[in-house]
Amino acid sequence: MLVGGVSRRGAALGALGRRAVGCAALLVTAGGLATASAAIATAARSRPSALWGLDVLPFPGTPDAAPATNIDFPALAPGRITAVRVMGSRSGLDAGRLRAQPAGNGTVFSPDRPFLAGEHVNVTALLRSPAAGTATGAPGARRLRFSFGVAQLAAPSNATAPSGAPPDVEAPSRRITHTFVSAPKLHPPVVRMSGAATDRAQGDIFLDVQNSGFPGAYILNRKGKLLYFHAARTSVFNTRLQIYRDRRVLTYWEGRVVPPGVGRGKDLIVNDHYQTTHALTAGDGYQKRGTDLHEFTLGHRGHEGVGFVTIALPVTANLTSIGGPANGTVLDWIIQEIDIATNKVIWEWHALGHVPVDDSYATYVPGQAYDYFHLNSIQQLSNGRLIISARDAFAVYAIDEATGRIVWELGGKHSSFSMGPGASFEWQHDATLHNNGLLTVFDDDSPSVAGQSRGLELHIGIGSHRATVVHSYFHRPPVLALSQGSVEVLSDHNVFVGWGSSGHFSEFTPGGTQLFGGSFRGHVQSYRAYRFSGWTGRPLQPPALVVMKAGAAGHYYLYVSWNGATRVARWRVLGSTSETGRFVKVTSSVPWSGFETRISVKSATRPYFEVEGLDSQHHVLSHGTSAVVRGP
């Protein structure tokens, strides 16, 4: 059985430590036969004499593919494969069919039945030409052979996070939220602001809300005034602005959080009308499990949009290397790349196929699922690589998509780089590689400064194999985030930091001066915090209006709000003698003063009201006229 069979990763490949574990050698004979061994447990540190990467899925040596997995050939169109033979060690010969993947993403073989848990699967593919073998990573081959293991799923666990790792989700605390007359069902948490955002062009602030009792997606303007709150029945994580088909879209994860702080839900794409246009779900055998909360990032493959999602899967594994049982339970962390238009999986990667469990810094607790890796960020690069962050390994990895191999490792137990003074990080989140070797990461528990988290900028020296600190950003007063967090470099080179579980966010100059910040009251927190420009919310529902009596006869208070509308500059009140009569202006327009604006009106003869939302040019916005409401 391959599950849990990973021992120690293979030797360095190339200048920056390319590894062979989970993608063992392809041996090409004179007859053009390519074989990929799946013997992960015996992977050596010495480089095999012939070594290529095979562009197939599951990657050769994957220890725990889903029983319902498909077998993909991303580099080959259907006409370049003549036959596929799939043999399970327990299920026997598996019939299936070949079909094209969406948007030109190769060919998939779909077995007619699921594989059996814990079995070993051998795949042989006959190719139409030697060029097809070359395209797949086996130069000149007419036949490909590779193998993978099928997961032995572990029983559900109610365990909490291991004691050696900070939990990612804390228990709910007391509710400290807004209450609105015109939107009584919305209770977004209160945010306290300090300082001032002088860089207007950087746009609005995007947050998610945890531990308030009212989870949701949250948008503030630069002054900290609420623009939008999506109230959810379950948890919401990672609210952000992304680009899909050349349009700005709002994205976030929504679902249930289960021990030890992982998600079972779906990833949503929302347009500027706040309508869900796409709901990405896990595929290839993980539909019922759902996607995890830790990352949802949009990217491109060719001209088509794709989404990268995470899945946390408890599987049976050999944990003797970290003092556990031979049949213990470990969380494997899986990345799926999904074609957005069709919701089809076109790429998949398993941490257990490439990183052994004893690379973790998390403490193993008997009887609990061992969360050894804890994947929490994914970035797609233009060169066919991904940058990922593994919290519990204290490491950031670069992955080659075509082969699944780890090209280099930053931090962790086997860093490809020497770490300069202050460059090491622990329990980190949100790793992002920028131009000129700059890498940002949120360092939750900085080993260089006790008791404080920091936003960290590192320079990654490809030639020198050395990582050095460019700048560390510390909150004032100091904060320690037990989990979560983010670092964003803005277009004006300021740095915006989300302080995770501490419930703070703040912006810094490149030199480290804290310009402004905000914080939730109580123990409310946000997984990440962002600033984005260019978001224009155009809700299709009209503004909400409530009219209340204000003392003397003919005096009223009008409470008006328009959830998600970002262009309202002023409100204009119109009145009429009847519900269907002619409405005329009864007072001068008043400025938008926040999510809900209260307007005082005196109108003894016109007790019917409607309110118009005006833009900065005093034009009525589309859908910007409220329903008619009669005063009490």
| Cα–Cα distance list, 231 to 174, 185, 209, 297 (Å) | 17, 8, 10, 22
| DSSP helix/strand/coil, 375 | strand
Contact 217, 176 (CB under 8 A): no
Task: Please state which architecture CATH assigns to domain 203-532.
Answer: 7 Propeller (2.130)
Q: Report the distance separating Cα 31 and Cα 602, nearest Å.
A: 93
CA atoms within 13 Å, Cβ hemisphere of 213: 13
Q: Report the distance separating Cα 208 and Cα 577, nearest Å.
A: 44
The strand pair at 33-36 and 143-149 is best described as parallel
Angle ∠(356,359,360) on CA atoms, nearest 5: 115
The residue behind tokens 């589309």 is 622
Question: Which pair of structure tokens corresponds to residue 500?
Answer: 């995770």
Angle ∠(624,625,629) on CA atoms, nearest 5: 145
pLDDT over 90, % of the chain:
81
Q: Report the distance separating Cα 213 and Cα 482, nearest Å.
A: 20
The stretches in the chain having pLDDT less than 70 are: 1-52, 156-175
DSSP class of residue 181 equals S
| Cα–Cα distance list, 100 to 31, 72, 384, 626 (Å) | 28, 10, 21, 50
CB count, 10 Å around CB of 579?
11
The predicted pLDDT at position 174 comes to 44
Q: Report the distance separating Cα 460 and Cα 30, nearest Å.
A: 42
Radius of gyration of the chain (CA): 27
Q: What are phi and psi of 133, to 5 degrees?
A: -65, -40
83: left (phi over 0), alpha (psi -120 to 50) or beta: beta
Element (H, E) at 188: none
Q: Report the distance separating Cα 324 and Cα 36, nearest Å.
A: 30
The predicted pLDDT at position 53 comes to 79
Q: How far is CA 533 from the centre of its chain?
A: 20
Q: Report the distance separating Cα 302 and Cα 304, nearest Å.
A: 6
The type of residue at 274 is Y
**Which has the closest alpha carbon to 302: 334, 346, 260?**
346
Work out whether the CA dihedral 237, 412, 336, 272 comes out positive or negative: positive
Which ranges in the chain are annotated with CATH 2.60.40.10? 544-630
Residues facing 219 on adjacent strands: 206, 228
CB count, 10 Å around CB of 404?
27
Contact 60, 43 (CB under 8 A): no
CB count, 10 Å around CB of 582?
10
Work out whether the CA dihedral 499, 500, 501, 507 comes out positive or negative: positive
Residue count of the chain: 632
Q: What is the pLDDT of residues 322-377, one digit of tens each?
A: 999 999 999 999 999 999 999 999 999 999 999 999 999 999 999 899 999 999 99
CA atoms within 13 Å, Cβ hemisphere of 466: 7
Q: What are phi and psi of 22, to 5 degrees?
A: 80, -10
The type of residue at 127 is L
Q: Report the distance separating Cα 425 and Cα 508, nearest Å.
A: 20
Q: Report the distance separating Cα 438 and Cα 418, nearest Å.
A: 16
Q: What is the pLDDT of residues 494-534, one digit of tens each?
A: 999 999 999 999 999 999 999 999 999 888 999 999 999 99
CATH number assigned to the domain covering 544-630: 2.60.40.10
Residues facing 73 on adjacent strands: 107
Work out whether the CA dihedral 608, 614, 620, 622 comes out positive or negative: negative
Angle ∠(283,74,249) on CA atoms, nearest 5: 55
Record the pTM.
0.88
Q: What are phi and psi of 41, to 5 degrees?
A: -65, -25
The residue behind tokens 């291991």 is 162
Exposed e or buried b for every residue in 380-389, given b needs 16+ CB within 10 A? beeeebbbbb
Q: Report the distance separating Cα 216 and Cα 290, nearest Å.
A: 19
Q: What is the pLDDT of residues 47-56, one digit of tens each?
A: 222 334 799 9
Element (H, E) at 136: helix 130-136
Contacts of 613 (CB under 8 A, 6+ apart): 543, 562, 565, 568, 570, 571, 620, 621, 624, 625
Q: Report the distance separating Cα 85 and Cα 71, nearest Å.
A: 11
CB count, 10 Å around CB of 196?
11
| Cα–Cα distance list, 310 to 247, 282, 335, 376 (Å) | 24, 8, 5, 8
Q: How far is CA 469 from the centre of its chain?
A: 26
CB count, 10 Å around CB of 276?
12
Cα-Cα end-to-end distance for the chain: 74
CB count, 10 Å around CB of 155?
8
Which ranges in the chain are annotated with CATH 2.130.10.10? 203-532
Element (H, E) at 45: none
Contacts of 473 (CB under 8 A, 6+ apart): 454, 455, 456, 457, 487, 495, 497, 508, 512
